[in-house]
């Protein structure tokens, strides 16, 4: 089951066959497209294309579906940077600095750095997958409910740095986010909450509708109000990142790749979660934290690297145990099983040709994506030059299609529109939006793991502190909260505001 160069070389030979190369390319292209469109995520994309896979050989089919997943991570950043609308939940942190860069006329370099960071992280991720798959697969199992709760709690404490100067407003935004995700059935007991007897609310609010509303629709509304002619008016300086940009963000890419890779091994730690953690880590690590939120290129590179590393390392528990770490991988698992391929330790022994061909194809896929994305950078960045009276309605249209596409329910469209209004009001009153999104993304897992942990411990919260992994996360979270509070009260001119709400 361990690493063998022979197997990898054989894998490359298979992956480089014309058929496999073609399907890898198709997957990359579709993935990028899905990433660009807000609302339509990789799970839906893979699910829609599943029927095609019954017509092509298993290896090609899985190669294509895998390419859609990591390809979507490349595409998600595009609209986040150019028009401040994250194409995927995982690109929310990218929008913070990416959009600022775009406003300064540096959309091209921001997009370029995304492609490069994605490539670097994707490749690091695959090297990790190649060499350590068998060893690392156990990490997923070490995480039980208490560990998850501690990790989610730590992630939630990032709100402090995400809200910057406006700590109180950030906390209010967070509470709103948590409240919104409470609507619907309790994920474990099924008890209905905050539905007011309205059956449509039973299934809860989908966080993709919430994100589409908060970011995209409110952005359109703000621009309409300003009767903007363009999304932002500024000279565009250069399409490509400079060597200086790459040098500045290279460290960030490597660190974020590491964070994304390890968190990606855990079921439930979707790229949407890891990108926030990577962004925050980079901000703390940086010698110039004041530039974050004002167009720091590291702030773009870090989340983009993290989401690619996460999507790649998710294949480790999938192949090694048959454990999907997120919905797109669950669909992939379904695909594997449709072909009669049983993931698990036996997969490496019984179908080595298949496994290594897929792994090898991921190296190739990343190269394809780099070439697919870098030359198109200028083209994507030009979207912002489309006059707003044309672009605005188009964005609104895509938002509505995207929101409808989640579950094919008109209800989700209404949710997106309502959150558009909420997002508009929040921007007007300069409430930061990112903490609300983070809270909505984390809440289901936070709640589930808290309930499960307390059941396991029969009500005692000590369970979060007497298990080593959980204790470390809890300590980090508490330190982060104390530090945030101290900075807030002591200095009055604290960490740098990360107010994506103010203009």
Residues at the site binding other proteins, with contacts judged by CB under 8 A:
43, 46-47, 50-51, 54, 140-145, 184-185, 187-192, 197, 199, 202-204, 267-268, 321-324, 327, 330-335, 337-338, 340, 342, 344, 407-409, 444, 448, 451-452, 455-456, 458
- 184's enclosing H/E stretch is strand 184-185
Cβ proximity to other proteins, 30 vs 374, nearer residue: 30
Q: How far is the CB of 327 from other proteins (least distance, A)?
A: 6
Q: How far is the CB of 91 from other proteins (least distance, A)?
A: 22
Q: How far is the CB of 331 from other proteins (least distance, A)?
A: 4
Q: Which of 469, 140, 152, 452 is nearest to 323 (CA)?
A: 140
- Using CA atoms of 269, 72, 410, 202 in order, give the dihedral in degrees to the nearest 10: -10
Cβ proximity to other proteins, 127 vs 194, nearer residue: 194
Cβ proximity to other proteins, 124 vs 323, nearer residue: 323
Cβ proximity to other proteins, 265 vs 296, nearer residue: 265
Q: Which residues of 403-426 are buried (b: 16+ CB within 10 A; e: fewer)?
A: bbbbeebebbbebbbebbebbbeb
Q: How far is the CB of 334 from other proteins (least distance, A)?
A: 3
Q: How far is the CB of 200 from other proteins (least distance, A)?
A: 8
Cβ proximity to other proteins, 234 vs 350, nearer residue: 350
Cβ proximity to other proteins, 237 vs 407, nearer residue: 407
Residue in the structure block whose two tokens are 């049983």: 342
Q: How far is the CB of 3 from other proteins (least distance, A)?
A: 22
Sign of the Cα pseudo-torsion (303, 87, 335, 24, in order): negative
> CA–CA separation, 492 vs 485, rounded Å?
11
Cβ proximity to other proteins, 175 vs 452, nearer residue: 452
Helix axis angle for 18-36 and 58-83, nearest 10°, is 30
> CA–CA separation, 328 vs 308, rounded Å?
14
Cβ proximity to other proteins, 245 vs 447, nearer residue: 447
Q: How far is the CB of 90 from other proteins (least distance, A)?
A: 19
Residue in the structure block whose two tokens are 């014309």: 18
Q: How far is the CB of 185 from other proteins (least distance, A)?
A: 5
HSE toward the beta carbon, residue 329, CA cutoff 13 A: 27
Cβ proximity to other proteins, 9 vs 142, nearer residue: 142
Q: Which of 303, 300, 391 is nearest to 107 (CA)?
A: 300
Sign of the Cα pseudo-torsion (264, 265, 270, 276, in order): negative
Q: Does residue 467 sit in helix, strand or coil? A: coil
145 token code pair: 């409910």
Q: How far is the CB of 312 from other proteins (least distance, A)?
A: 19
Cβ proximity to other proteins, 313 vs 373, nearer residue: 313
Q: Give yes or no for a contact between 287 and 272, defined as CB atoms under 8 angstroms apart.
A: no
Q: How far is the CB of 186 from other proteins (least distance, A)?
A: 8
Cβ proximity to other proteins, 8 vs 469, nearer residue: 469
Q: Which of 238, 6, 200, 214 is nearest to 106 (CA)?
A: 238
Cβ proximity to other proteins, 117 vs 406, nearer residue: 406
> CA–CA separation, 320 vs 409, rounded Å?
36
376 token code pair: 């198109």
Q: How far is the CB of 461 from other proteins (least distance, A)?
A: 16
On the 0-12 / 13-18 / 19+ scale of CB atoms within 10 A, 18 is exposed
Q: Which of 151, 177, 147 is nearest to 162 (CA)?
A: 177
Q: Which residues of 304-324 are buried (b: 16+ CB within 10 A; e: fewer)?
A: bbbbbbbbbbbbbbbbbbbbb
Query: Residue 192 forms beta bridges with which residues?
Result: 185
Q: Which of 262, 24, 3, 296 is nearest to 121 (CA)?
A: 262
Q: Give yes or no for a contact between 43 and 80, defined as CB atoms under 8 angstroms apart.
A: no
Q: How far is the CB of 479 from other proteins (least distance, A)?
A: 26
């Amino acid at each position: 089951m361990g690493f063998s160069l022979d197997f990898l070389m054989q894998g490359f030979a298979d992956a480089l066959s014309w058929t496999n190369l073609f399907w890898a390319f198709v997957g990359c292209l579709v993935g990028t497209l899905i990433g660009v469109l807000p609302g339509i995520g990789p799970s839906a994309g893979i699910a829609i294309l599943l029927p095609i896979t019954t017509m092509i050989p298993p290896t090609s089919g899985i190669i294509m579906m895998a390419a859609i997943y990591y390809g979507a991570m490349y595409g998600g950043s595009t609209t986040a940077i150019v028009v401040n609308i994250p194409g995927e939940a995982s690109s929310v942190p990218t929008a913070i600095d990416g959009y600022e860069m775009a406003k300064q006329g540096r959309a091209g370099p921001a997009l370029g750095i995304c492609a490069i960071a994605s490539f670097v992280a994707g490749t690091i991720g695959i090297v990790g997958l190649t060499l350590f798959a068998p060893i690392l697969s156990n990490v997923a199992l070490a995480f039980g409910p208490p560990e998850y709760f501690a990790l989610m709690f730590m992630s939630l404490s990032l709100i402090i740095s995400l809200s910057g100067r406006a700590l109180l407003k950030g906390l209010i935004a967070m509470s709103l986010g948590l409240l919104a995700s409470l609507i619907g059935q309790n994920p474990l007991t099924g008890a209905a909450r905050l539905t007011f007897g309205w059956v449509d609310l039973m299934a809860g609010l989908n966080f993709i509708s919430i994100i589409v509303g908060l970011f995209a629709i409110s952005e359109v509304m703000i621009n309409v109000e300003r009767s903007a002619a363009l999304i932002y008016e500024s000279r565009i300086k250069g399409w490509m990142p400079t060597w200086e940009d790459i040098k500045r963000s290279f460290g960030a890419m490597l660190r974020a790749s590491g964070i994304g890779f390890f968190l990606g091994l855990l079921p439930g730690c979707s790229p949407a979660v890891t990108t926030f953690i990577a962004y925050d880590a980079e901000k703390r690590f940086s010698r110039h934290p004041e530039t974050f939120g004002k167009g720091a290129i590291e702030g773009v590179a870090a989340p983009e690297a993290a989401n690619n590393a996460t999507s790649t390392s998710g294949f480790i528990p999938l192949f090694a145990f048959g454990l999907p770490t997120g919905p797109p991988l669950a669909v992939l698992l379904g695909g594997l099983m449709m072909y009669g391929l049983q993931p698990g330790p036996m997969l490496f022994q019984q179908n080595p040709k298949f496994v290594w061909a897929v792994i090898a194809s991921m190296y190739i896929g990343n190269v394809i994506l780099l070439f697919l994305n870098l030359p198109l950078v200028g083209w994507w960045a030009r979207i912002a030059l489309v006059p707003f009276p044309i672009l605005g309605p188009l964005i609104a249209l895509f938002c509505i299609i995207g929101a409808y596409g989640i579950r094919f329910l008109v209800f989700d469209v209404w949710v997106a529109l309502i959150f558009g209004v909420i997002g508009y009001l929040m921007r007007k009153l300069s409430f930061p939006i990112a903490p609300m999104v983070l809270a909505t993304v984390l809440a289901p897992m936070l709640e589930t793991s808290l309930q499960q942990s307390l059941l396991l411990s029969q009500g005692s919260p000590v369970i979060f502190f007497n298990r080593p992994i959980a204790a470390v996360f809890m300590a980090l979270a508490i330190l982060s909260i104390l530090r945030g509070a101290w900075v807030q009260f002591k200095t009055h001119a604290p960490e740098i505001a990360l107010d994506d709400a103010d203009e």
